[in-house]
Amino acid sequence: MEAEKGRWILILAGLIINIALGAIYAYSIIQIPIKRLFETVYSLKTTATEMQLPFIVFLLMFALMMPLMGKYIEKYGPRKIAILGGIVVGMGWFAASFATSPLSLVILYGVIGGIGVGMVYNCPIVTSGRWFPDKHGLAVGLTLLGFGFSAAITGPLMDFLMVTYGVENSLRILGALYAVMIIVCALVLRFPPAGWTPNRWRPPKVTTKTMTVDFMRNEMVRTRTFYGLWICFTIGTLAGLLAIGVAKPVGLEVAKNIGISEKEISAVLTALVIPFACCNGFGRPLFGWIVDKLKPMRAASISFMLIFLASIAIYLYPASLVFYAIVFAILWLNLGGWLAIAPALTATFFGVRDYARNYGLVFTAYGAGAVIGNLLVGQAKDIFGAYIAAFPYVAVLALLGLLVALVTFKPPKKA
């Protein structure tokens, strides 16, 4: 009974850890102050693409590191890995305060911070799943809510610190804070004893109706379904991560188009990160429900049509704060959606026997989406003078994703 009650503490700990990890989603809040620091203190003229690179590299390192940590979590336990990763996360944010150029920010913040998040990310997820075989989806979903909602908490905090203490001191405070949050909460992470099951719960019986074909990773990569899922996941995360990376800069563009100064609108744009982050958080359970209730193809279709319509709307109405708020809420929602769609479809199409390695490979699409999306929006700003110029390309990619899903989202057959 003690374990039965105590396991809920692990959900809370995992949620708090994910709030610290998900602070990267508030990057657009700190991007502008850091850009000003480089230009005023270090006399560096920076481009939009250069300022997107730390965000890109952070997410890329996260995506590449995450699947590599599975065997170490099993070998050393989630507590030790999460504590070590928490130290690395804190080091990344703290070290960023010493950056004097976009390149040094890429190394100190992007590489170090991204590696740290990749080390920690799976620790609370795997722990929650082991302790809640009876409520696996709910447990993992609640744990991941912290990542999705993080920007709603960390965004206003970052803005306050930047204004009050300046860029360098703020990054040091944030580094120490995130390290403490992760390390303290990691102390309670542990796997259940061998053979433990929740009170009065029995594993469901496997029947011919519930039996699915399990694909090992080397078998999965031989299927067309895998490549279709990888491409669709890339496009879905591309749109969302692009929107997260430039949420505030695009808002400033829209404000400028209607004659509102940065000073007048800055606080409003920072406040809008809160509902955007809530949409990101709610996207996970919402699209998870859609995948469960409808066919996988329909979930992907809904997502891609929303991305298409949102991208066209912001391009056609670049002088409307209402459209800006709606469009970015939709794009943040869809990022959360694909972080539910992709793992669900990985299990549906390829089974659970080799799920950890299978989804680890599928998750590299998240890194690809971060790179392509943020390079696209950075180049749009540098070439056309406006971030909004990237959105017609996003709309075309959404239609491509819809077509790929239509052709490939079918149960694969073993060779």
- Helices (H) and strands (E) counted in the chain, each on its own, are 19, 0
Q: Considering just the CA atoms, what is the radius of gyration of the chain in Å?
A: 21
pLDDT of amino acid 2: 56
Dump pLDDT digits (tens) for 76-99: 999 999 999 999 999 999 999 999
At residue 169 the predicted structure's pLDDT band, cuts being 50, 70 and 90, is: very high
Could you give the 3-state DSSP secondary structure of residue 261? coil
Name the residue with tokens 């052709």: 407
pLDDT of amino acid 176: 98
pLDDT of amino acid 1: 43
Which one-letter amino acid corresponds to residue 387? Y
**Residue 305: both structure tokens together:** 């049509």
At residue 45 the predicted structure's pLDDT band, cuts being 50, 70 and 90, is: very high
Q: How many residues does the chain have?
A: 415
Fold match, 1-191 / 214-415? yes
Give 214-415's CATH code, choosing from 1.20.1250.20, 2.160.10.10, 3.20.20.450, 3.40.50.2000.
Answer: 1.20.1250.20
Dump pLDDT digits (tens) for 229-239: 999 999 999 99
At residue 207 the predicted structure's pLDDT band, cuts being 50, 70 and 90, is: low
Q: Give the fold, CATH level 3, of 1-191.
A: Growth Hormone; Chain: A; (1.20.1250)
pLDDT of amino acid 7: 87
Say how far apart CA 49 and CA 363 lie, in whole Å. Answer: 24
H or E element at residue 67: none
Does the pLDDT at position 364 exceed 70?
yes
Dump pLDDT digits (tens) for 338-353: 988 888 888 889 887 7
Dump pLDDT digits (tens) for 117-154: 999 998 998 888 888 887 766 787 788 889 988 999 99
- The residues, any chain, with a CB within 8 Å of residue 280's CB and separated by 6 or more, are 25, 148, 149, 151, 240, 244, 332, 333, 335, 336
pLDDT of amino acid 196: 77
Name the residue with tokens 């860029």: 167
What is the average pLDDT value for the chain, to the nearest integer? 90
Domains in the chain: boundaries: 1-191, 214-415
Phi and psi of 85, rounded to 5°? Answer: -65, -35
pLDDT of amino acid 347: 82
Phi and psi of 133, rounded to 5°? Answer: -65, -20
Say how far apart CA 116 and CA 19 lie, in whole Å. Answer: 14
